[in-house]
Chains A and B, each alone.
Chain A
Amino acid sequence: MKEMIQTKRKSMDGKSNAGTVRGLTGLGALYHKELADHLKSKRFLILLLLIGSTGFASLYGAVTALSDATGSDYLFLSLYTASGSSIPSFMSFIALLGPIIGLALGFDSVNSERAGGTLNRLVAQPIYRDSIIIGKFLAGTAVIAVIIYTMGVAVGAVGVISTGIKPTGEEVWRILIFLTFTVIYIAFWLALSILFSVFCRHAATSALASISMWIFFAIFMSLVASIIANAAYPMNDEYSMIFNSLPNYTLRLGLNRISPYYLYSEAVSTIMNPTVRSVNVVTVDQLQGAVTGYLSLGQSVLLVWPNLTGLAALMLIAFGGSYIGFMRQEIRAN
């Protein structure tokens, strides 16, 4: 009898030691499953097609625009930033359509498991509950990274072949930073859609909620910002314009920067245009005696570092919200 107890105790000790290892294998298995699910899904194919076709359309526009352009020192970057033949640039396409990738990957991640009855089977396995949501987020982010880096590099490659422009080392770095920014930006939307999928019982509701957030930030936020700024610092007559134009603009900018869409656009246009020297208001006074020139890569990055921090923070807040929500939620069978 004593022996039995001892061996039992031993096996129990072994088990608790294996707890952390087991938690990690659980996360690994979940990550692999989610990744395989995404990659095999029709959804992924559609997204790839959408981003692919817009990417190459914008490249076509950029190439036509470039043929009229006079020499710039950063010609290769123009492949991503130039727009022509009324087709927006790759950069603005991604800023507008990128969120769709994140939203499509995440909007049904938790509530579909709940509805399908797989969630309570999953939480009954010996894994930490948080590895479920972490696995989902990591797998989604990995898919986003695959799509974005593939598209970014593909557009560049086709650009090299079709125009014969060779990228310099600095340009390559700028493009990589741009793509990394994009991944973080889209990961924010993924986190947001996971947040909605945790709190909305139906996948349709969470899809609608996340799409409305996307439209709000992409289109209406700037309108709201200018309405508030104009209300706070009216610019009705010349007299008030003298005093109010600076605070009005600063307030509007500040409000706009709440929107991840604006934050991202500002950051990547700075990274991709070495001529951009400031993201804030510049007075004529400050420009006096300035020599026109390009900003070095390090300085460009420094300029948008706050944007990067802001984006990453927004992403973590959204993910943190879904994490807490998921951990505190009751797992009911019905």
Chain B
Amino acid sequence: MANERENVIEISHLTKKYGEKTAVNDLNLTIREGEVFGLLGPNGAGKTTTILMLLGLTEPTGGQALIAGMDCARHPLEVKSMVGYLPDNVGFYSDMTGRQNLRFTGRLNGLSGRELEERIDRLLERVGMTQAADRRAGTYSKGMRQRLGIADVLMKDPRIIIMDEPTLGIDPEGMRELLNMIRQLSEEDGRTLLISSHQLHQIQQVCDRVGIFVEGSLIASGTLAELEEQIRKDGVYLLELNVQPCDDKLLGMLYQQDGVEDIKKEGNTLLITSKKDIRSDLTEFLGTHGYTILNLHQRGGDLDEIYRRYFEKAGQNDERNDSDKKKKHGWKK
């Protein structure tokens, strides 16, 4: 099973325009069965639009999205019967209890009788909501709504689960539970998950692969290691350095070093941009010149840096980014 994973979501040249504005621009993406894919991007990058197109809720302007070989725009009913969707800020009918809300969803999916009741009980148990199941949904906290939302998504026993910003507004404990749940859904149930988020750290822990989505375009996708590799290939390294003593003489000497391109000073921390890994050279150099290294850290490697780097890259040929940069400068002064 594991070695012949099929592509369960195939998106090719998917484009969506709202008037002049392009929300999603020529998106190509493949997600394999059983994978956890993280769709990362800032707010307004077109993540939700992409998800809505996958569910057949929004008509694409061009291109197509296939789920299990079915066109999402042409067969929305079949697609929606195997795709569970957890919207951001999921809502329930506040006058109905949690159980009644689940029952309604079950009925909409054609379940009834004992099968329905058993599934409700099992899912409530699974998300830990059995205690609160008969309280009105209006009294639930955000975290409880989220858990009920997951039970709600699982009512239809979906092959694919799409979560839109599931980590938003969840406390750390709830976050841990959510991530555990995501892992469980993927590893134990073998479901495919597509998670959209702008919160990197949480997603980093559970995703097999991530895609970085900026202004409607997917600018990179792959495993974390692959993305890291990609950045390395660009030949830009960023080093965080704290030394004692930190004087102007040091700066001048550092510029002389082979490979160093630029040095910025942020408080006591020096940010050194270089073309190659200069860590070993630098350690030796500083050691011989009587400096004490307090902190030496190569940035990159964590998603945060990758994310930031890709945003910068995407913004280079973008005017809006220019104005952002100007703003930054102004702020510095």
Contacts and interface: CB of A to CB of B under 8 A. Distances in A.
A330 interface: yes
Interface string A15-48: 1101101110110111011000100110000000
Interface residues of A, number: 35
B80 A126 contact: yes
B87 A120 contact: yes
A69 B302 CA distance: 92
Contact of A26 (B58, B78, B92, B108): B108
Contact of B108 (A30, A37, A331): A30
Contacts of B80: 124-126
B93 interface: yes
A117 interface: yes
Contact of A125 (B58, B89, B156): B156
A122 to B, nearest CB: 8
A124 B87 contact: yes
Interface in B2-18: none
B92 A118 contact: yes
A333 B108 CA distance: 20
Nearest to A330: B58
B48 A121 contact: no
Interface string A291-334: 00000000000000000000000000000000000000011111
B123 to A, nearest CB: 15
Interface string A108-126: 0000000011101111111
Contacts of B88: 333-334
Interface residues of B, number: 33
Interface in A248-297: none
B55 A116 contact: no
Interface in B132-157: 149, 152, 156
A128 interface: yes
B292 interface: no
A37 B77 CA distance: 26
A16 B78 contact: yes
Contacts of A122: 108
A116 B87 contact: no
Interface string B273-297: 0000000000000000000000000
Contact of A128 (B77, B94, B95, B105): B77
Contacts of B84: 124
Nearest to B105: A125
Q: Is the interface of A mostly helix, strand, loop or mixed?
A: helix
B19 interface: no
B58 A121 contact: no
A15 B81 contact: yes
B104 interface: yes
Interface string A121-146: 11111111000000000000000000
A23 B57 contact: no
Contacts of B105: 121, 125
B109 interface: yes
B267 interface: no
B91 interface: yes
Contacts of B70: 12
B245 to A, nearest CB: 52
B26 to A, nearest CB: 21
A334 B43 CA distance: 11
A23 B87 contact: no
A116 B57 contact: no
Contacts of B107: 25, 28-29, 32-33
B85 interface: yes
A30 B109 CA distance: 11
A37 B95 contact: yes
A159 to B, nearest CB: 37
Contacts of A22: 77, 81, 110
Contact of A23 (B77, B91, B104): B77
A19 B109 CA distance: 11
B89 A126 contact: no
Given A25-B107, A29-B108, A126-B109, A12 B78 contact: yes
A23 B88 CA distance: 26
Contacts of A116: 91-94
Interface in B87-116: 87-95, 104-105, 107-110
A16 B104 CA distance: 22
Given A128-B77, A331-B57, A121 B104 contact: no
Given A331-B52, A331-B57, A125 B91 contact: no
Contacts of A118: 91-93
Contacts of B92: 116, 118, 121
B75 interface: yes
25 contacts: A16-B75, A23-B77, A25-B107, A29-B108, A30-B108, A33-B107, A37-B95, A116-B94, A117-B87, A117-B89, A117-B90, A121-B87, A121-B149, A122-B108, A123-B57, A124-B85, A125-B109, A125-B156, A126-B78, A126-B80, A126-B108, A126-B110, A332-B48, A333-B89, A334-B48
Given A21-B110, A117-B91, A126-B110, 15 more contacts: A12-B70, A12-B78, A16-B78, A23-B77, A29-B107, A30-B108, A37-B95, A116-B91, A125-B105, A125-B109, A125-B156, A127-B77, A332-B52, A333-B48, A334-B88
Interface of A: 12, 15-16, 18-19, 21-23, 25-26, 28-30, 32-33, 37, 40-41, 116-118, 120-128, 330-334
Q: Across chains A and B, which 7 residue pairs bring their CB atoms closest together, nearest first?
A: A117-B91, A126-B81, A29-B107, A124-B85, A116-B91, A125-B108, A126-B80
